[in-house]
Amino acid sequence: MTKSILITGCSTGIGYYCAKALHDGGFRVVASVRNPQHLARFEALGIPCIILDLADDASIKQGFDEAVALCDGKLDALFNNGAYGQPGAVEDLPTDVLRAQFETNLFGWHTLTCLAVAHMRAHGGDSRIIQNSSVLGLVALPYRGAYNASKFALEGLTDTLRMELSGSNVQISLIEPGPIASEFRRNARVAFEQHIEIANSAHKTEYEAQLTRLNAQSAPQKFTLGPEAVYDKLLHALTAKRAKPRYYVTFPTYLMGYLKRLLSSAWLDKVLLKNR
């Protein structure tokens, strides 16, 4: 039977590519966007698309109900993807700006995930939830505190949910990309300039260098891959008999994941030896 999936954050980049690729591969895809101006491109592709604003609980609930209706009452999978990055030093982050980062990157995902889990439990069948995290959910970088915090929280919440769903019909996975070609840098620049007081900051020099990098659209980061690299992991998480808990994408994520496991093992060995 054809599997149905709701994907958030489909306006550009990873969400758009994965929605189209899954549709072409025979999945019953419902895409979601925040901006109504982006609906038309999906109509041309024959992919149902709904409005779903992850910073608005009412929009999330209405969008979820619409997605279920478009799938004839049964949704098999959810790919939480819609997010943005808010640059800025922690000391320069207004609390409201940090709160807004969490509304879109974590709280909205939580609301949607809980709706999906309840629906999937009630309808049975092989169900999947995939969270698109980040290498910055594994390691922290300066001037990325808001995004780091949202992804670290997502990692912990998802790992806990996976344990709590053990034995149920719902499998949950994390995809952890590093640099992927998308509109992420452009959107981060907009958020940076809109919410951070650059001129009077102690970090002004570094901010100016960051803006130069963010404006260098023709010079992608080293190790950048296309969105198809994320799609490959998503497809496995959706179709494998037993989905992996985590999927690394790009060299930096594999490296940081390995170092994190290595350091954790070394710390554990030290504790065990101390308490022998």
From residue 24, how far is each of 17, 18, 27, 47, 50 by CA, in Å?
11, 10, 7, 10, 19
Residue 217 clears pLDDT 60, i.e. is over it: no
Residue range 63-76, pLDDT digits in tens: 999 999 999 999 99
Q: What is the pLDDT of residue 53?
A: 97
**Active-site residue, selected from the candidate residues 84, 143, 147, 248:** 147
Q: Is the pLDDT of residue 219 over 80?
A: no
Q: What is the pLDDT of residue 256?
A: 86
Dist. CA 76–CA 165, nearest whole Å: 15
- CB-facing half-sphere around the CA of 199: CA atoms within 13 A: 1
Residues with Cβ within 8 Å of residue 262, at least 6 apart in sequence = none
pTM of the model: 0.91
What is the spatial distance between Cα 259 and Cα 35, in angstroms, rounded to a whole number? Answer: 39
pLDDT band with cut points at 50, 70 and 90 for residue 271? low
pLDDT over threshold 60, residue 264: yes
Count how many residues are written for the chain. 276
Q: What are the b/e assignments for 130-156, b being 16+ CB within 10 Å?
A: bbbbbbbbbbeeebbbbbbbbbbbbbe
Is residue 207 part of the annotated active site? The answer reads: no
DSSP letter assigned to residue 37: G
The confidence band for 213, taking pLDDT boundaries of 50, 70 and 90, is confident
